[in-house]
Structure 1
Amino acid sequence: MTARYNIYFNGYESFKAGLLKVINGHTDDYAELLKVFEYSDPSSATRCSSDMEKAIQKASKLISLKSITARPEGKEKERMTTADEELLNRKEYNEWVDDSYLLIAKSRFYKQEYNESAAVFEYCISQANDPMVRKEASIWLARIYNEKGKYSESYRTLTELEIPSKSSKGLKAMYYTTMADLFIKQQKYSEAIDPLEKAIDLVSGKRTKYRLKYLLAQLNEQAGNASAAISLYRDVVKMKPPYDVEFNARINIAGVFDVNAGNPREMRKEMEKMLKDSKNKDFLDQIYFALGNLSMKEGNDSEALEFYRKSVSSSSVNQNQKGRSYLALADYYYREQDLMKAGKYYDSTVFLLDKNHADYQALRSKSQNLNTVVSQLTIIQTEDSLQKVAGMPESERNALILSIINDITKAESEGKTSQYSDRYNLGQFYENERRFQDNIEQEGKWYFYNQAALTFGRTEFRRRWGDRKLEDNWRRINKARSSGSMSATEGSDNTQNVADSSITETLDYKKPEFYLKNLPLTDSLLALSDSRIANAYLNAGKAYAEKILDPEDATESFEKIIARYPGSELVPEAIYNLYKVNKDINYTKSETYRQRLIKMFPETEFARMISDPDYYNKKMEALKMAEYLYQEAYNTYIRENFTIAVSLCDSALKKYSQDYLAPKFILLRAYSIARIS
């Protein structure tokens, strides 16, 4: 009695308190696939740790103080029943010890101490007297396997486990929710539907029921069962859940809606009605996003883009929704092959999305790969713009610069920050002005209502300054010293330098020289500009081929080097890359480039690599031999055999005069001669 109503009771109360913190502390993102269990949130362990530790202490105390292992006196062997034999073979005679071990294991599970928890569950499975405790421990062990990604072991554990029909609803619900979680974690959404349907009929509690019903609707949506998903979302609404759940269910109905099977006008009216409802003032971004998806399904791309932009510009604390809206814009422009815009929008997507988002790493990788291309395209555009401005008549060029300075002066007189005042040079301004104007014409006149311009500006800021915390004095070198208590002399040099630099920068962009400084106005500067363009085309082509996996654009980029700069030293490498890129998709074209490279540039490394398949191996062997000879010459020098060292260096320099080790041989030879002298 003491074990149950004192020690175990207090321990289990602590466990329940910790469990309640896990549930109440978890916030569902109803725009994403829900988690079956709240404990799958990585941060849940910190919320419940102290309560679970207390539960472990209480359960451990019960085991140490109340365990009964002494056997009772038995009957004579010939008079024993099977039940009597089973009783005498027990290792533990206090039934609350089994429950205490189970409580310890569950508490460690919620603390995410999975290895320790698994060991205790395995003990329960092998040693517990109560068969229901053994079965529950097996289900919990499967949950550990799910969390650790050991899906085959989880499936084996669950399929080998027999749950009798007379088992409690709670045990059955545990089994089916765990099986559903197993399939969902493997993205086998169709297979997760059946066990989740069974679980919903068994679980208790309004919150649990509407969450799982909502998840079931999402699974049907993922599996392509649109009508079933819509019906289930409507069931969620009928359950009268909290408003945010009801709202998201209605939004998802619009998302699943089939414009070919239903009436899109009615759905649009419902969405527009939601826009006018004052209860939805914090959800406008989601409504606009849903309208954008509806327009996209109808094939009205321009209207869809407008709704996505409205979604982004709506005031909301929901950063994930902003990220999803940016992602919709990014995906659209990516499909349209407008990589400049796509790159900027993917950059914003990654910046705003939660790092725990299922697709975060894939999107981050895609954004980085796109930025590799975009950075080279930006160089090409900037240099082309510089050359275009440099080629203008002087009077026309001066008039352009004067108009820029006037725009800046006017903006500052109106208390605004000009979008042109922080550009590095005229070429960048010239290109950016064109892009800004295109965006502003599409999206509205004022900069801060213009999401494309904001996206561009955010990316430009991060490119120049990195990720800066929003705070006072963010540009100062020494922010720690910029408080009001700073003495008159303390840090004055740094502060003055920063101030002087800031003033100079402010003055510079109002002077014509600021815009003229990078213009290629001489033949030598024009040659440097051409070199930067050619290198950018080469790097862009490689990025298209290796990062974006786009051989067509890679081919176009490499061919532009040959067309624009036929005398460039990069032409052999461009032809070699054209041969490689087209090898698997257009053999005839690839062969043409191979023959062209061998014929026009037979002495280049690239031609040798093509004409001799074993060339690379030979090259590596030669490098190894050069390294061996250098090591031999160096060791000879250390042994003070300077004459032999000089001889070895001379021999190496005859064979490997162009090798990267040649300078080392020359230096070692000089040292050896000096020692001989």
Structure 2
Amino acid sequence: MKTFFKPTLYVLLAVLAITSCSRKKNTFLSRNIHAVTAEYNALYNGYNALDQGRTSLNDTYEDDYWEILPIERMQIDEDVILPGQSKNENFTRAEEKAVKAIQKHSINIESKEYNPQMDEAYLLLGKARYFDQRFVPALEAFNYILYKYPASDKINQAKVWREKTNIRLENDELAIKNLKRLLKQEDLEDQDLADATSMLAQAYLNIKVIDTAITLLEVAAEATKSNEERGRYSFIQGQLYNELGYKDSANIVFDEVIELNRKTPRIYMISAYLEKVKNFDYENGDKLVLSELLEELETNRENRPFLDRIYHVIGMHHLKGESVELASRYFNKSLRTNTRDQKLKARNYEILGDMTFDKRLYADAGAYYDSTLANLKLNSKPYRTIKRKRDNLEDVIYYESVAKVDDSILGLVRLPEAEKLAYFEKFVADLKDKAEEEEKKQEALKRNNGLATVGNQIGNRNIGAGGPGVPNQGGGFYFYNPTTVAFGKNEFLKIWGDRPLEDNWRWSNKGASAGGNSGTTADIAASASEDERFDPQFYISRIPSDAKEIDSISKDRNYAYYQLGLIYKEKFKEFNLAKDKFKELLESNPEERLILPSKYNLYKIYELLEQHDEATIAKNDIVSNYPESRYAAILTNPESVALKDENSPLALYEKLYDVHVSQDYEIVINQSEEYIQAFEGDPIVPKFELLKATASGRLLGFDAYKKAINYIAVTYANTPEGQQAQRMANEMLPKLESAAFVNDSISSGFKVVFKFDRNNTVKINEFKTTLDSVLENVRYYKLKSSIDVYDTNTTFVVVHGLRNAQVAKTFDQILLDKDVKKITEPYFAVSSANYQILQIHKNLDAYLNLNNP
């Protein structure tokens, strides 16, 4: 009997336990078992996963201290996340645990929840979705808490998190309204008060109400229990005071951050120091104290992770103190820290570029601006600003390089044979020394690689970190480092120029836009064989000896001098530099076309520099030796300069452009050629060339247009017109090259064309007048006509506005009976697309034969 009783008792107790834990019953045992299981199983693991996810977010997030910091450290990813995907597996796991707690432990009977942990589960669900940047689902979770659990002890947290989500969804006005109501209705304390006020401050920051945000951040900093948050909130306060121009108030708040010292992340303390340095009053402040502070920041070993920014601020300090060399040294030291702050690198490079520009080292300044662009976001406002500055240097860099190379070549040409031999013997000796040094480096590198390989095999692991200064720290492939890539590109361009990707790219004739650098000794050495490379006679044999070639080099050099004189005078207002270039040009036996413009520009420069005696000499020279020139006319009659000179290049261009509009293309071509010769060397010449190219295309067709555009792109490559021609050659000409006609069935516009002999202008004008009167009587169609030049022999009178091919082919049938007899000239119909093709390629016969086999 006793043996039978024990198993029966166990079974009854088990059934009782199971039925008591049912989610369908609201009993003391059921509520507490499900509450405890949810809290210490699913929710515990869920919050652990959430904390791990937040830690990983904080580890990968980097604040941008060039801007006002956000209240919450969270990087928003713009990538679209598809359903079922996640940005972080930890947040997915946290969400799964929250859902598990709800599904398995919710005691929802008659729409009422009896498990006290369910509000916590929904809060975890909302937080996981929030940090996974799925803000709409997160909002649903927080709203569910407010709807379903109004008496929950987590209700204020849910309200704050809901408004955090609204702020992320850019519903700032709604968030402000709800948070102000929460602060008014509830007596919040400690962390709840800090969270609510800090988020309200963020909402005000988003709508640019800075003063209110400062007040709220002060409340949040006092209320929070987290020293990390206190340091961040106070630092943002200081930034906002600086934004409003209240530097004294900002420094007081920064001092509060500094006093926290090790209680808050060191980055806030260092940033506070640096912001105070930026606010320093150089007129009234103690510069000795500031220097001691900067020295302490630089030498403190704990500040090594922040040396990139510290060096930059020290550089700015020396720059304001006019210690330019010291400033340059610190900006370069900041760059050598291999900082990951792209904005910091861009600012360092930009400042170095500006300093180099002020020294008139324009080629070096251009290289610095190239590095600046490599570290800026493409097409951003700062990028466009630097791009314009860099583009302004393009011409001066190009012509300085041309002048330098050509001067070197001409200098070698003038050397006696003995001095040539001595020069290249020294050059070859230097080459051998460099080759030996490079060979030793390669051998050392091979030995080191061998040791690294052995070490890897012994340790059975990869050593990816490089030594000091090596950019592939941590095993990353160094070409993935944008700084390294940008530096490599700039070094390549300095040595080789802009060369196309092709075989034998080192050959001297491959330099595309190296600024005339293709004839340098370095180029010749690079293209030489091993035997030739160390033979002085090889280099001597490459020195030009033909009189025509030497004369061509001299002309190129003189033209470069002329362009540099104009650029320094007009673009950079460097009048002394411009004067030197024009004087060097006049002393170099220049072509006749460059002499008079150079003398006139020298006269203008003397006037600007108030060197009146030299200006008088230059003026008398022009008036006496070139009395018929337009420059002499301007100098002898200065009042005419205030009026529009009818014979000025610009005025002549404007008149010729009007002729182009009236379709007198032959006159445009002939006049353009005359003006190009007359104004050779003047900046207006490329404009005439482009106008002539357009007229040639309209009159002679695609081949003539293509030839002219390519000529402009090559001959005037560094002018706006030349760059425009290059874009046209790259983008537009390939689209126009096909002469094949399209199928009329896919066209929606058609024309009726009447063909006339171009010389019979009276007949053409009379016919157009008659046609216009007839078109006014046409019903259901709104038609108009035009006179279009086709070629040197043919002119078209064209009817526009037809939408149907059949109507165009039977054009006379839409005319009124009284008008049909007025239009007796033969015509043909053509789609708008095909009309454009036959005008471009002048293939009218091919089109007529195609439609009339």
Report the Cα distance in structure 1 between the residues aligned to 2:739 and 2:106, rounded to whole angstroms. 72
Report the Cα distance in structure 1 between the residues aligned to 2:559 and 2:270, rounded to whole angstroms. 57
Residues 121, 137 of structure 1: 8 Å contact kept? yes
Displacement after TM superposition at 1:200 (Å) = 0.6
Q: In the alignment, which of 26, 38, 45 is matched to residue 7 of structure 1?
A: 38
Corresponding letter in the other structure for 1:521: E
Worse-matched range after superposition: 123-132 or 376-385:
123-132
Q: Residue 348 of structure 2 aligns to a residue in which SS?
A: helix
Report the Cα distance in structure 1 between the residues aligned to 2:356 and 2:364, rounded to whole angstroms. 6
Alignment of 1:304-343 (within 5 A): 304-313=327-336, 315=337, 320=342, 321-330=344-353, 340-343=363-366
Tell me the alpha carbon deviations over residues 563-594 of structure 1, each in whole angstroms, 9 at most, x when there is no partner: 999979xx9xxxxxxxxxxxxxxxx9998489
Residues 180, 192 of structure 1: 8 Å contact kept? yes
| Larger relative contact order (CA 8 Å, sep ≥ 6) | 1
Tell me the alpha carbon deviations over residues 233-269 of structure 1, each in whole angstroms, 9 at most, x when there is no partner: 3322322225555444434332322222320112112
Q: In the alignment, which of 116, 123, 138 is matched to residue 102 of structure 1?
A: 123
Residues 31, 248 of structure 1: 8 Å contact kept? no
Equivalent residue for 1:271?
294
Corresponding letter in the other structure for 2:58: I
2:416 corresponds to 1:378: no
Displacement after TM superposition at 1:273 (Å) = 4.0
Corresponding letter in the other structure for 1:365: R
Report the Cα distance in structure 2 between the residues aligned to 1:656 and 1:288, rounded to whole angstroms. 72
Equivalent residue for 1:164?
185
Equivalent residue for 1:410?
430
2:150 corresponds to 1:129: yes
Q: Residue 187 of structure 2 aligns to a residue in which SS?
A: coil
Q: TM-score, normalised to structure 2's length?
A: 0.51
Displacement after TM superposition at 1:401 (Å) = 10
Equivalent residue for 1:601?
653
Report the Cα distance in structure 2 between the residues aligned to 1:60 and 1:210, rounded to whole angstroms. 36
Q: TM-score, normalised to structure 1's length?
A: 0.62
2:385 corresponds to 1:366: yes
1:607/1:632 Cα in 2 relative to 1: closer, same or farther (>3 Å)? same
1:519/1:160 Cα in 2 relative to 1: closer, same or farther (>3 Å)? farther
Q: CA-atom RMSD, angstroms?
A: 5.8
1:116/1:370 Cα in 2 relative to 1: closer, same or farther (>3 Å)? farther
Q: In the alignment, which of 656, 667, 672 is matched to residue 843 of structure 2?
A: 667
Report the Cα distance in structure 1 between the residues aligned to 2:547 and 2:307, rounded to whole angstroms. 47
Alignment of 1:239-254 (within 5 A): 239-241=260-262, 243=266, 245-254=268-277
Corresponding letter in the other structure for 1:363: P
Equivalent residue for 1:21?
56
2:369 corresponds to 1:193: no
Report the Cα distance in structure 1 between the residues aligned to 2:564 and 2:356, rounded to whole angstroms. 22
Displacement after TM superposition at 1:56 (Å) = 1.5
Residues 369, 390 of structure 2: 8 Å contact kept? no
Report the Cα distance in structure 1 between the residues aligned to 2:327 and 2:313, rounded to whole angstroms. 9
Equivalent residue for 1:57?
96
Tell me the alpha carbon deviations over residues 331-365 of structure 1, each in whole angstroms, 9 at most, x when there is no partner: 55678997655443233234457x6xxx9943333
Q: In the alignment, which of 297, 306, 312 is matched to residue 320 of structure 2?
A: 297
Report the Cα distance in structure 2 between the residues aligned to 1:516 and 1:154, rounded to whole angstroms. 77
2:251 corresponds to 1:230: yes
Corresponding letter in the other structure for 1:605: Y
Displacement after TM superposition at 1:204 (Å) = 1.4
> Unpaired segments of 5 or more residues in structure 2?
1-31, 440-469, 471-484, 505-524, 598-639, 663-690, 703-737, 747-751, 759-788, 798-834
Report the Cα distance in structure 2 between the residues aligned to 1:352 and 1:234, rounded to whole angstroms. 33
Corresponding letter in the other structure for 1:270: L
Displacement after TM superposition at 1:92 (Å) = 4.7
Corresponding letter in the other structure for 1:395: R
Tell me the alpha carbon deviations over residues 161-210 of structure 1, each in whole angstroms, 9 at most, x when there is no partner: 54535224322222222233334456665553222111111111222222
Corresponding letter in the other structure for 1:4: A
1:634/1:64 Cα in 2 relative to 1: closer, same or farther (>3 Å)? closer
Residues 373, 383 of structure 2: 8 Å contact kept? yes
1:338/1:507 Cα in 2 relative to 1: closer, same or farther (>3 Å)? same
Tell me the alpha carbon deviations over residues 83-108 of structure 1, each in whole angstroms, 9 at most, x when there is no partner: xxxxxxx7655454343333212111
Displacement after TM superposition at 1:219 (Å) = 3.0
Percent identity over paired residues: 17
Corresponding letter in the other structure for 2:492: F
Corresponding letter in the other structure for 2:90: D
Report the Cα distance in structure 1 between the residues aligned to 2:413 and 2:152, rounded to whole angstroms. 93
Report the Cα distance in structure 1 between the residues aligned to 2:175 and 2:530, rounded to whole angstroms. 64
Worse-matched range after superposition: 197-206 or 249-258:
249-258
Q: Residue 39 of structure 1 aligns to a residue in which SS?
A: coil
Q: Residue 380 of structure 1 aligns to a residue in which SS?
A: helix
Tell me the alpha carbon deviations over residues 57-109 of structure 1, each in whole angstroms, 9 at most, x when there is no partner: 222233334444444xxxxxxxxxxxxxxxxxx76554543433332121111
Q: Residue 188 of structure 2 aligns to a residue in which SS?
A: coil
Pair member with larger Rg: 2
Corresponding letter in the other structure for 2:230: K
Tell me the alpha carbon deviations over residues 532-585 of structure 1, each in whole angstroms, 9 at most, x when there is no partner: 9999999x99xx99xxxx8989xx99xx99x999979xx9xxxxxxxxxxxxxx
Corresponding letter in the other structure for 2:331: Y
Corresponding letter in the other structure for 1:364: Y
Corresponding letter in the other structure for 1:231: I
Residues 346, 367 of structure 1: 8 Å contact kept? yes
Alignment of 1:653-664 (within 5 A): 653=791, 654-655=794-795, 661=837, 664=840
Report the Cα distance in structure 2 between the residues aligned to 1:108 and 1:466, rounded to whole angstroms. 52
